[in-house]
Amino acid sequence: MIFMTTMILLWGHTAHSAVLIKDKLWQKGTVLNVLFLDGTPELQQLVIVTAPEWLQNTSLSFQFFGHSSKPPRQTHIRVSFSLHSGSQLGDHQDYASKYPTMNLFDLTSEQISDSGARRLILHEFGHALGFEHEYRSGFWPYGEKVIEEIIVDCYPKMQQIGYSRLAAIERCKNINAPIAASVAHLTAYDELSIMNYQMSFVDSDGRKKQIKPAVNLSLLDRYAMQRWYVR
Ligand SMILES: [Zn+2]
């Protein structure tokens, strides 16, 4: 049944989407060293039990290192719980630096729910494995207006982390632009992907639309991992 559903979604759908960037893929079989640069044992443990869900039935694995242990010579994902929340995309080629590649500041908020924490960890590790936001597919079905709203919402966040106003505008446009199909491995557009944003908007046909925040990897999230990080 699961297989049938996947088949329909992948090949029965004329629009394709989502969005694993080809030149950001980690090499097959990589053991990704994940180094915690800070954070309480509880926060680190939450990441350690949640993030590996991405890697089931793939050729990748994680090895986690606490900040008090001696770090390995090469680190692939460096996690800090300070400043903001976000992640570099996939293989960034910088394995020797001590700077974070992923920030999970929102996990330190007392307001965050268990499901919100789970969503944040899975979403940011999706980026760390090379996934871009689902709405950046050229086959996004709901029109440009909602994407323009995402871009406008982005400006103050970029300025908060140090961008000038003009640089923030440039950056927000870049990171929300549609991604050319030639640079990404794609599945069908996947409303349920953990890489989709939670959104509420009126689509190009005037219909009210709500995209709920996913808290689990979707069927196609897992499919993409297993296909393009095949064992
Ligand atoms: Zn994101």
Q: What digits encode the pLDDT tens for the residues 67-90?
A: 877 889 999 999 999 988 999 999
Q: 204 CA to middle of ligand 1, Å? A: 24
Mean pLDDT, range 165-190, rounded to an integer? 91
Predicted model pTM: 0.88
Q: 207 CA to middle of ligand 1, Å? A: 25
pLDDT reading at 158 higher than 60: yes
Q: 202 CA to middle of ligand 1, Å? A: 22
- Residue extent(s) of CATH 3.40.390.10 domains in the chain: 26-129
pLDDT reading at 12 higher than 90: no
pLDDT reading at 10 higher than 60: no
pLDDT reading at 180 higher than 90: no
pLDDT reading at 13 higher than 70: no
pLDDT reading at 219 higher than 80: yes
Dist. CA 12–CA 7, nearest whole Å: 7
Report DSSP state, residue 57. T
Q: 85 CA to middle of ligand 1, Å? A: 9
pLDDT reading at 133 higher than 60: yes
Residue percentage of the chain with pLDDT more than 90: 76
pLDDT reading at 4 higher than 80: no
pLDDT reading at 58 higher than 60: yes
The CATH classification number of 26-129 equals 3.40.390.10
Q: 216 CA to middle of ligand 1, Å? A: 15
Closest CA to 14 of 197, 138, 185: 138
209 contact partners, CB below 8 Å, separation of at least 6: 142, 199, 200, 201, 202, 203
Mean pLDDT, range 108-115, rounded to an integer? 96
Residue 16: predicted pLDDT: 38
Mean pLDDT, range 172-186, rounded to an integer? 91
Dist. CA 140–CA 122, nearest whole Å: 22
Dist. CA 2–CA 7, nearest whole Å: 9
